[in-house]
Amino acid sequence: MASLSQGDLADLNQAMEGRTPQELMAWAKNTFGSRAAILSALQRAGAVVCHMAHATKTDLEVLFVDTEVLFPETLTTRDRIAKEYNLNIITLTPELSMEAQTAKYGVLYLSPEGQTQCCDMRKSQPLLKMKGKYDALVASLRRGDGEKRSKVPILAVDPNMNCLRVNILANFTDQQLADYIKEHNVILNPLHFQGYATIGCNRCTTPVMPDEPKRAGRWRHLGPWAMYCGINPTDLDRGTDRAIDLPQPLIDKILGRKTDFVI
């Protein structure tokens, strides 16, 4: 195993800026094969990524975390996307039901500390169970979402999962997203048409007013300090000293280096 840091990706990230999302998805598939998957909560951008996989026939599994307190509309959207886009969506679930968790720890999502713990148990830990199965996760974070995502790189190391996040929509603008959805009639969570700009658990998501930031409806009861669940490492930390461990030939492939084994 060899180390690949965020800093090592700087030149490649710059070169990737000119590629389309479809080209980036193809790069992920060609580079990682079946050790790449899509990670999506199936919101607007995630649904677009799924449509792109379908339209380009890029055979990638989709990982979807069901916290078991999602809106029914979200689960219906998942089922529609799986069926109509012919995608293998793997649903990951927490160890404890919400009832069992509440009996053991109390109602966590009502305090900032509890939210962190609850999101960890119901979102991050289910994903972590897949650690070791994938070297790359294709995701849908966009700079256009603002806040901590305003500088999200296309390629980001994910030390927790020890894999590379490939944010194929990083530089896709709001207008490009809207145009793609319209042009391809992308399957969307119906809650997006009811004022929900972003959609998470039913306990912690509300619609937003037209003049509010997109993420104002997430953890509204906690105030603006609890903006993210933590499942995406770039939401929490933008340092360049983070690193992951991958086989050297794979790192060479990622970085486009030729490996010469002739002695």
Nearest approach in angstroms of CB 226 to ligand SF4 is: 8
Contact 238, 13 (CB under 8 A): no
Residues in contact with ligand SF4 by CB under 6 A are 67, 69, 109, 115, 118-119, 122-123, 200-201, 203-204, 229
Return the number of the residue (208 or 229) whose C-beta is nearest ligand SF4: 229
Contact 143, 177 (CB under 8 A): no
**Cβ density class 132-147: b for 16+ within 10 Å, e for less:** eebbbbbbbbbbbbee
Nearest approach in angstroms of CB 66 to ligand SF4 is: 11
- In order, the DSSP letters of 83-109 are HHTT--EEEE--SS-HHHHHHHH--GG
Amino acid 132 reads G
Return the number of the residue (53 or 118) whose C-beta is nearest ligand SF4: 118
Using alpha carbons, list the distances in angstroms from residue 151 to 138, 173, 238.
Answer: 17, 13, 9
Angle, helices 98-105 vs 112-119, to 10°: value is 140
Residue closest to ligand SF4 (Cβ): 201
- Rounded Cα distance, 157 and 147, in Å: 20
Return the number of the residue (210 or 223) whose C-beta is nearest ligand SF4: 223
Tokens standing for 205? 């998501």
Token pair 């998470």 in the structure block, residue: 200
- Rounded Cα distance, 204 and 233, in Å: 20
Active site residue 229: yes
- Rounded Cα distance, 199 and 206, in Å: 8
Which are the catalytic amino acids? Answer: 229
